[in-house]
């Protein structure tokens, strides 16, 4: 393979990278010295439930591995173990070492569905940051100015709006940069939303006398809604460990437009093959629903195998296609801690009823069906299981409902 071919694969679907010249030089040097490049990608140990959004980056890491390079899967445990020292955020509780290690195991189980374990080094930044003294930290913070840090979009916005920025928040990007120094990273991958921090890492490496890493920014995958970024907290995600039927059904719920975006970012098809499919749809020789089913099939097969994908497709056909339900039903995820919920609560949570009073009236009038069964008792309770359900109100209002039960 030529350098040009390697470059084409590496940069495919990458939104932005800095810089091509440096990347080519690194690839050449790697060949000359027969030394694999060190590819860094950082992950937050507090949220080990990976979804398809994460796989855009993981797939790219895998490509590097297939080209013979070495991936440093960096778990940013140092700051996670500190938590939120201001005590403002309930969510960012400090993790113990045990929790970090447990989360890391969960990560590994998931990422090794994509990454090659042989060419992956899982590292924790507490290994070097935990050994730093206060003095080392002062020296690190002397590498960057307040004004430059305030150029980061979110800081700029908060500063302008008078929303407090605590000083340690300025240190976190510097520590992330120092991770690159500790790893002597050649290349770092991140989302486009990490642009600022990635640039900082280059500066910090320079300050510590290293050649700056090449930074590659991958596009952020939109969630099932096609608008916001895929994220667990927004409920618009497909987890890579979700059961096959659920994964398949969620993927079938996306718009045709989003389908092509998912093809581009998630499918293993080459750009040429995707282009061909698109053309066929435009020419009416390939039904968009079929295209969506093929995409859903490919992704379910990747995480659960071909057999499971086949079964999921059959189940989908049975439940939806054969019931004559509309294809464009909205999908709602209800986050709850309860093992079961009242039907009226479900009606309001899904916006199928505008108020509790309306919900009660709809039930009493006999217009509400749960998975096809009429519900007439306003006190009826629905178990919050992990299946997908169909909620119907009247003749025309449909909605898919799933539960996200939190302990």
Helix (H) or strand (E) holding 176: helix 167-183
Q: Which is nearer to a copy of itself, 139 or 374 (CB)?
A: 139
Burial class (CB in 10 A: 0-12, 13-18, 19+), 135: exposed
Secondary structure class of 187 (helix, strand, coil): strand
Q: How far is the CB of 39 from a copy of itself (least distance, A)?
A: 26
CB of 112 to a copy of itself, least distance (A): 31
Tokens of 98: 């045990």
Do 293 and 315 contact (CB within 8 A), yes or no? no
Nearer Cβ to a copy of itself, position 206 or 310? 206
The nearer residue to a copy of itself, 177 or 249, going by C-beta atoms, is: 177
Q: Which is nearer to a copy of itself, 135 or 373 (CB)?
A: 135
Residues that bind a copy of itself (CB under 8 A): 78-79, 81-82, 84-86, 129-130, 132-139, 141-147, 149-150, 155, 159, 162, 164-171, 174
| Of residues 35 and 97, the one with the C-beta less far from a copy of itself | 97
Residue with smaller CB distance to a copy of itself, 169 or 349: 169
CB 172, min distance to a copy of itself, A: 8
> Which residues lie below 8 Å from residue 339, measured CB to CB, with a gap of 6+?
383, 384, 405
Q: Closer to a copy of itself by CB, 142 or 306: give it.
A: 142
Residue 156 CB, nearest distance to a copy of itself (Å)? 11
Shortest distance in whole angstroms from residue 148 CB to a copy of itself: 8
Q: How far is the CB of 123 from a copy of itself (least distance, A)?
A: 17
Q: How far is the CB of 139 from a copy of itself (least distance, A)?
A: 5
Question: Can the peptide bond before residue 236 be classed as cis, meaning omega within 30 degrees of 0?
Answer: no
Say what the alpha-carbon torsion angle 333, 110, 267, 73 is, to the nearest 10 degrees. Answer: 120
Question: Distance (Å, rounded) from C-alpha 30 to C-alpha 396?
Answer: 61
Integer Cα distance of 262 and 269 in angstroms: 11
Q: What H or E segment, with its residue span, contains residue 41?
A: strand 38-43
Report DSSP letters for 345-403, one per residue: HHHHHTTSSSSHHHHHHHHHTT-EEETTEE---TT-EEE--SS-EEEEETTTEEEEEEE
In angstroms, rounded to a whole number, what is the distance separating the alpha carbons of residues 133 and 53? Answer: 36
């Amino acid at each position: 393979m030529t350098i040009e071919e390697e470059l084409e694969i590496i940069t495919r679907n990458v939104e932005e990278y800095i810089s091509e010249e440096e990347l080519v030089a690194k690839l050449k040097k790697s060949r000359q010295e027969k030394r694999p490049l060190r590819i860094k990608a950082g992950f937050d140990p507090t949220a080990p439930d990976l979804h398809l959004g994460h796989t855009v980056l993981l797939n790219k890491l895998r490509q590097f591995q297939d080209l013979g390079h070495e991936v440093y899967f960096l778990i940013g445990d140092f700051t996670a173990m500190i938590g939120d020292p201001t005590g403002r955020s309930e969510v960012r509780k400090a993790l113990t070492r045990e929790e970090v290690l447990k989360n890391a195991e969960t990560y590994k189980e998931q990422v090794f569905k994509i990454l090659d374990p042989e060419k992956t080094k899982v590292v924790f930044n507490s290994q070097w940051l935990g050994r730093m003294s206060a003095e080392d930290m002062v020296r690190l913070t002397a590498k960057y100015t307040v004004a430059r840090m305030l150029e980061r979009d979110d800081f700029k916005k908060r500063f302008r709006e008078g929303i407090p920025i605590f000083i340690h928040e300025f240190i976190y990007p510097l520590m992330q940069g120092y991770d690159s120094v500790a790893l002597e990273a050649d290349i770092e991958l991140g989302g486009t939303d990490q642009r600022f921090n990635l640039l900082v890492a280059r500066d910090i490496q320079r300050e510590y006398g290293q050649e700056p890493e090449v930074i590659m920014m991958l596009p952020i995958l939109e969630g099932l809604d096609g608008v916001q970024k895929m994220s667990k907290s927004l409920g618009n995600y497909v987890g890579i460990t979700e059961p096959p039927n659920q994964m398949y059904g969620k993927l079938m719920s996306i718009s045709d437009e989003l389908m092509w975006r998912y093809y581009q970012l998630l499918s293993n098809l080459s750009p040429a093959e995707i282009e061909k499919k698109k053309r066929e749809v435009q020419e009416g020789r390939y039904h968009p629903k079929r295209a969506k089913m093929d995409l859903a099939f490919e992704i379910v097969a990747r995480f659960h195998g071909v057999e499971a994908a086949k079964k999921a497709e059959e189940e989908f056909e049975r439940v939806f296609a054969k019931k004559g339900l509309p294809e464009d039903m909205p999908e709602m995820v209800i986050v709850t801690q309860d093992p079961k919920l009242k039907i009226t609560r479900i009606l309001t949570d899904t916006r199928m009823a505008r108020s509790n009073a309306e919900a009660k009236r709809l039930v009493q009038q006999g217009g509400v069906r749960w998975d096809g069964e009429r519900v007439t008792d306003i006190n009826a309770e629905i178990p919050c299981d992990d299946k997908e359900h169909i909620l119907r109100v009247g003749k025309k209002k449909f909605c898919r409902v799933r539960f996200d039960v939190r302990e």
